[in-house]
Amino acid sequence: MSGHKATPVGGPLLTRTTGTLLAITLVGAALAIWRFAVGLGPSTGLSDGYPWGIWIAFDVVTGTALACGGYAMALLVYIFNRGKYHGLVRPALLTSALGYSVAAIGIIIDVGKPWYIWRIPVSVGKWNLDSALLEVALCVMTYVIVLWIELSPAFLEKWGEKSGLARGLGAFMDKALIWFIALGMVLPTMHQSSLGSVIMLAGPRLHGLWHTGWLPFLFLVSCIAMGYAVVVMESTLSSRAFGRVREDRMLVSLSNVIAFVLLVFVAVRLIDLVVTGKTALLFGAGGLSALFWVEMALFLVPALMLLAGRGHLGIGTMFRAALMIVFGGAMYRFDAYLVAFNPGPGWAYFPSVPEIVITLGLVAMEILVFIVLVKSFPILSGTRPAAAATK
């Protein structure tokens, strides 16, 4: 196992990879500016029947779940006292901070009057305390700030090499960080379950295979599974890209935890359908039944793979299982917010080209900033100096 001390990867920031990502980001940014110039109508496929498209279903609902690696690892390290995973926390926090920041940008692009968003946290007297969206908005806004504060020791370590002020702030953060970690436990628990509550309010417009009173719990459990899967994928891919020694033993030891979370999700969803008398929908809802079973397979198969491989599990199996979990979780959330949502006859939605390109630009920006930050600041542990940092 490699050492847990984080070090910058180093190497040039402008490479063929980062240049390509920057170009995609700029194209997406240009189209986002055009969307603000012409409005949502001409630039998107949104309508009164489908007020939310891929910017919400993918960038926010799915993107924040994929960004829950920091939350999932913090649960393991700080709540269940598994300190051996500490080396995975900082890169997971970076992934989370970037994912939630991109989700926040997605919301700004999606809403009709984003220049009023600042009023949400300050207009306390006008809050609708029965609104699940209010809780999501407040928690996401706060959590973005908390995540960057949790990650701040990485920046202060680097800047502290030349600045006494940064060293002083670093010493202060060492003492204060525990409070932000605690806050970072509460906020995603609240808003991830509230994302399930929001779509639960769609009532009969959401197909019965997805609509249940357990939606808040299923959204919370799915984000934890997706968070662990992203940690495995991020660690494996960054090890290959930057020539780091892989944390194989540490990643493989996560298999039991991941399998348990996946089986809880599958069991709750199936038992709920039986108890609520919806078993006829399992095979009688046409294409939606097929989508349901694909989702279930993408949760159940990796759970069985991880359990069957106990004692001799390889990192390749872990990566394939993580990939399935990411697809399964993304599909579950995408289906709940778009595919299985039916606002009534006469409405249809397919994302416009600008919607798709802007989403690609946001994803490219997230990867680009990740590469720049891990090359510049001590975020990844076990880094080999002068490794494949030119990628």
Residue pLDDT, tens place only, 195-250: 999 999 999 999 999 999 999 999 999 999 999 999 999 888 888 888 877 777 77
Residue pLDDT, tens place only, 95-150: 999 999 999 999 999 988 888 888 999 988 889 888 888 888 898 899 999 999 99
Helix (H) or strand (E) holding 176: helix 164-200
- Between 91 and 80, where is the model more confident? 91
Amino acid at 334: F
Q: Is residue 323 exposed (0-12), middle (13-18) or buried (19+ Cβ within 10 Å)?
A: middle
Q: What is the pLDDT of residue 389?
A: 44
Residue pLDDT, tens place only, 54-73: 999 988 999 999 988 888 88
Closest CA to 59 of 103, 100, 24: 103
Distances (CA, A) of 283 to 207, 272, 354: 14, 16, 36
Quick one: average pLDDT of 246-255? Answer: 80
Between 52-66, 247-261, 365-379, the lowest mean confidence (pLDDT) is in 247-261
- Between 253 and 379, where is the model more confident? 379
Q: What is the pLDDT of residue 182?
A: 85
Task: Give the Cα separation of 98 and 95 in Å (integer).
Answer: 5
273-281 own/partner pairs: CB under 8 Å, 24+ apart: 273/209, 273/212, 276/212, 278/208, 278/209, 281/207, 281/208, 281/209
Q: What is the pLDDT of residue 384?
A: 57
Residue pLDDT, tens place only, 3-26: 567 889 888 999 999 999 999 999
**Which residues, other chains included, contact 178 with Cβ-Cβ below 8 Å and sequence gap of 6+?**
none
| pTM (two decimals) | 0.89
Q: What is the pLDDT of residue 271?
A: 97
Task: Give the Cα separation of 224 and 218 in Å (integer).
Answer: 10
DSSP conformation letters of 206-236: B-TTT--TTHHHHHHHHHHHHHHHHHHHHHH
Task: Give the Cα separation of 230 and 166 in Å (integer).
Answer: 31
Task: Give the Cα separation of 253 and 108 in Å (integer).
Answer: 39
Task: Give the Cα separation of 199 and 269 in Å (integer).
Answer: 16
Residue 37: other Cβ atoms inside 10 A: 9
Residue pLDDT, tens place only, 31-59: 999 999 999 999 999 999 999 999 999 88
Q: What is the pLDDT of residue 386?
A: 44
Quick one: average pLDDT of 317-325? Answer: 94
Quick one: average pLDDT of 367-383? Answer: 89
pLDDT band at 190 (very low <50, low <70, confident <90, very high): confident
Quick one: average pLDDT of 352-374? Answer: 96
Burial code of 250-282, b = ≥16 C-beta within 10 A, e = fewer? bbbebbebbbebbbbbbeebeebbeeeebeebe
3 state SS of 55: helix
Distances (CA, A) of 275 to 25, 227, 263, 295: 47, 29, 18, 20
Q: Are 311 and 173 in contact (CB under 8 A)?
A: no
Q: What is the pLDDT of residue 390?
A: 44
Task: Give the Cα separation of 49 and 46 in Å (integer).
Answer: 8
